[in-house]
Amino acid sequence: MKVPVLLTQLNGPVRTKDDFLVFGSPMIEDAEIQEVVKSLKSGWLGTGPKVAQFENDFKAYKNASYAVALNSCTAALHLSMLASELDPGDEVITTPLTFCATVNTIIHAGAKPVLADVDPMTMNIDPAQVEAKITPKTKAIIAVHFAGRSCDMDALCLIAKRHNLKLIEDCAHAIETEYKGRKAGTLGDFGCFSFYVTKNIVTGEGGMVLCREESDASRIKVLALHGMSKDAWKRFGDDGYKHYYVTECGFKYNMMDLQGAIGLHQLKRVDKYWYRRQEIWHRYNDAFADWPIGLPASPEMNTRHAYHLYTVLIDEAKVGLSRDEFLNRMTAENIGVGVHYLSIPEHPYYQQKFGWDISKYPVATKIGRQTVSLPLSAKLTESDVEDVIKAVKKILN
């Protein structure tokens, strides 16, 4: 008779504590490590040639007209709105299913955020809901390409054109995203990208804004460095002393060469990492096809999904387990998970400030209460992916 093998292995967690699978851990390779060392040894740490090269490479990758590297996507969103010349009391429409920075930057720009609920399938802002929220005060729309899935850009561009609104794309999840052959971030007036540690390519902290108009790009450059005139960027060069003049009250949002050094090499592997995440995405789809959890919708025809997040829905009525219990149990299996996102109106600050009521955003509320993001990074090995699948099945059983 066979002895039941390794009882501890059956009863213990899928992974050990020492081997905790960190959610969104980035892939860092030798080329960027060497490039950072070179920057350190050169003594040029701040904004310089590597940032300029990263801007040019990213601009070429995206087929964009203008690119300005910044220290975050939050800075990119903020400056896009300042460049949009919003007046106090102007309204900016965005999704309730996003990171708080999308909404906070609207407030920092002096405008009023207005939320339009999402589509239950795509989890992206629903153009019909946007249309319903437009008032004479509406000046801009921020479209978030959630999880890397493109928003319905034909509909949003049409609404923006018809009502003379600025269209800002929050592309924090959408570096590789395409819509009908065009790259996300080049369809609106501004495209805002993040290279934060958990994103598809990383610089530690970092961001980029793409602009269609030269005037917007130069305004953003000035605003990103204290409001100092353009030549200030060259202030520390070796071609003689340069005077600068402060032309407006700006911010400290510039990217450093240490970050640009990482980004240069990460960008070269953007497609390689994308293919790896696509593989993992399909592996999860196959593994969970017959299990009672909600899986992400397939990418739409004529689009490229960036596969930034793999989100499953835990409906307690079907699974017999609450979402939060599922999160706890995954963590107990030593697998890091994420929540993208508890919907914006669930947070006390916005409830108090704007009187937002979750019942007005039923789709985002429901998703926000059921969603769990499983690990999906290019760094995952085959056995990491199998561990995630094992843990999910063990918990659902």
Site for ligand PLP in 121-150 (CB under 6 A): 144
Q: Does 364 bind ligand PLP (CB under 6 A)?
A: no
Residue 338 binds to ligand PLP (criterion: CB under 6 A): no
Name the β-bridge partners of 141.
93, 167
The beta strand positions in the chain, using DSSP E, are: 66-70, 91-94, 112-115, 138-144, 166-170, 178-179, 182-183, 190-194, 207-211, 303-304, 310-313, 371-374
Of 223, 194, 191, 192, residue with least CA distance to 206: 194
Q: Give the x/- contact pattern for ligand PLP in 38-67, rule: CB under 6 A.
A: ------------------------------
Find the shortest distance in angstroms from Cβ 4 to ligand PLP: 45
List Cβ neighbours of 254 (8 Å cut-off, separation of 6 or more).
Answer: 46, 47, 51, 69, 70, 71, 224, 225
Query: Closest CB to ligand PLP among 99 and 356?
Result: 99
The reply on whether position 101 binds ligand PLP by CB under 6 A is yes
* Residue 93: CB minimum distance to ligand PLP, A: 15
Closer Cβ to ligand PLP, 170 or 333, answer by number: 170
232 forms part of the interface with ligand PLP (CB under 6 A): no
Backbone angles phi, psi at 128, to 5 degrees: -65, -35
**Half-sphere exposure of residue 33: CA atoms within 13 angstroms, side-chain side:** 4
> Contacting ligand PLP (CB under 6 A), which of 172, 201, 217, 367?
172
Contact 382, 340 (CB under 8 A): no
List, in sequence order, every beta strand (DSSP E) within 71-218: 91-94, 112-115, 138-144, 166-170, 178-179, 182-183, 190-194, 207-211
Between 172 and 385, name the residue whose CB sits nearer to ligand PLP. Answer: 172
Piece in contact with ligand PLP (CB under 6 A), picked from 39-47, 170-178, 179-187, 379-387: 170-178
Q: Which of 66, 99, 288, 310 binds ligand PLP (CB under 6 A)?
A: 99
SS3 label, residue 43: coil
* Residue among 72, 186, 303, 377 that touches ligand PLP (CB under 6 A): 72
Parallel/antiparallel/unpaired status of strands 138-144 and 91-94: parallel
Of the candidate residues 194, 311, 370, 371, the single one contacting ligand PLP (CB under 6 A):
194
* Structure token pair of residue 232: 């200030």
**Catalytic annotation present for 234:** no
Tell me whether residue 21 or residue 77 sits nearer to ligand PLP (CB atom).
Answer: 77
| Distinct helix (H) and strand (E) counts, the chain | 15, 12
Residue 98 within binding range of ligand PLP, rule CB under 6 A: yes
Task: Give the SS3 label for residue 44.
Answer: coil
Query: Which residue in 279, 297, 262 sits closest to 380, CA to CA?
Result: 279
Minimum separation from the CB atom of position 253 to ligand PLP (A)? 10
Measured from the CB atom, the residue of 125 and 330 that comes closer to ligand PLP is: 125
- Binding residue for ligand PLP (CB under 6 A) from 39, 47, 74, 334? 74
**What is the closest distance, in whole angstroms, from the C-beta atom of residue 366 to ligand PLP in the complex?**
19
Q: Which residue has the tokens 């602009």?
A: 211
Q: Which residues are at the interface with ligand PLP (CB under 6 A)?
A: 72-74, 98-99, 101-102, 144, 170, 172-173, 194, 196, 207
Catalytic residue set: 199
